[in-house]
Amino acid sequence: MIEEQFEDLEQQQQAYSLGMWIFLASELMLFGGLFLAYSLGRFTHQTEFAQASLDMKRMLGALNTAVLLTSSTVMAFAVDRGEKGNWKGAARLLLITAFLGLVFLGIKGYEWHEEFLHFKVPGPHFQGDAGEQLFFFFYFTLTGLHAFHLSLGVLAVLTCAGLARYRPPAEGSPIMMLGLYWHLVDLLWFFLYPLLYLIGTRP
């Protein structure tokens, strides 16, 4: 369906795709500010950050990295099916993508729960020194913001999958745009994982 402000389908698709790229650039600046603050914190509290990072569950983080990487692969196939006009196939793959996103969120939620039980949430009950608390603050902010983006992604993917089943869109661009977003959220995690989980060395 062509919206009334556009001349033709191609213009509409190009506009949506460019809009998504600009949005992603804006997202990078949002995370960029937090990465800068994290870098300064790590620079001024090197030992505390390394120490606090040892409390992370590395294996669960690695597992989550694998889950998210797989979901991105499936998403790439879904985009491909969508472009070829295979809506049933695309919808099936989108459901798998969303499922893997939910698995990631489940594992992440379990980790948060564990950290909550061990008094690692910043605030009056935090157990550790100021530098460690700063590390955990960045940990919760960055992973929280990431999980928020992923949740929005899961909702959008499920909506798109449902729509594709019952009312196939006339063009492949919604899935393509979802793919762009999903890959960015995925990519952000590949920076978060080493920065938060892997900076400490065990004695």
Partner 1 sequence: MSYLTGPPSLRAWLFTRDHKRIAWLYLITISVFFAIGGLAATLMRIELATPAGDLVQADIYNRLFTLHGTVMVWLFLIPAIPNTLGNFLLPMMIGARDVAFPRLNLLSWYVFSAGGLLVLWSLLAGGVDTGWTFYTPYSSTYTNSHVILMAAGIFVTGFSSIFTGLNFMVTIHKMRAPGMTWFRMPLFCWSMYATSLIMVLATPVLACTLVLIAAERLFGVGIFDPALGGDPLLFQHLFWFYSHPAVYIMILPGMGVISEIVPCFAGRPIFGYSYVAVCSMAIAILGFLVWGHHMFVSGQSIYAGLIFSFLSFLVSVPSGVKVFNWTASLYKASIRLETPMLYALGFVGLFTIGGLTGLFLATLAVDVHLHDTYFVVAHFHFIMVGGMLMAYLGGLHFWWPKMTGRLYNESLGKVSALLIFLGFNLTFMPQFLLGYLGMPRRYHSYPPEFQIYNVLSSAGATFLAVGYLLPLVYLTWSLFRGQRAEENPWGAHSGLEWATASPPPTHNFREPPRLEGQEWGAAPLLSSVRL
Q: Which is nearer to partner 1, 124 or 203 (CB)?
A: 124
Does 53 contact partner 1 by CB under 8 A? no
Q: Which is nearer to partner 1, 98 or 142 (CB)?
A: 142
In the complex, minimum distance from the CB of residue 74 to partner 1, in angstroms, rounded to a whole number: 28
Residue 35 backbone phi and psi in degrees, to 5: -65, -40
b/e per residue 170-199 (b: at least 16 CB within 10 A): ebbbbbbbbbebbbbbbebbeebbebbbeb
Enumerate residues 11-40 that contact partner 1 by CB under 8 A: 11, 14-15, 18-19, 22-23, 25-27, 29-34, 36-37, 40
| Non-local CB neighbours of 113 within 8 Å, separated by 6+ positions | none
Report the amino acid identity of residue 31.
F
In the complex, minimum distance from the CB of residue 110 to partner 1, in angstroms, rounded to a whole number: 22
Number of residues in contact with partner 1, rule: CB under 8 A?
A: 36
In whole angstroms, give the CA distance from residue 52 to residue 133: 8
| Non-local CB neighbours of 90 within 8 Å, separated by 6+ positions | 78, 79, 81, 82, 164, 175
Q: Which is nearer to partner 1, 47 or 69 (CB)?
A: 47
Does 152 contact partner 1 by CB under 8 A? no
Span interacting with partner 1, options 61-69, 81-89, 117-125, 158-166, rule CB under 8 A: 117-125
Contact 194, 58 (CB under 8 A): no
Does 59 contact partner 1 by CB under 8 A? no
The residues of the shown chain that bind partner 1, judged by CB under 8 A, are 3-7, 11, 14-15, 18-19, 22-23, 25-27, 29-34, 36-37, 40-41, 44-45, 122-124, 130-131, 133-134, 137, 141
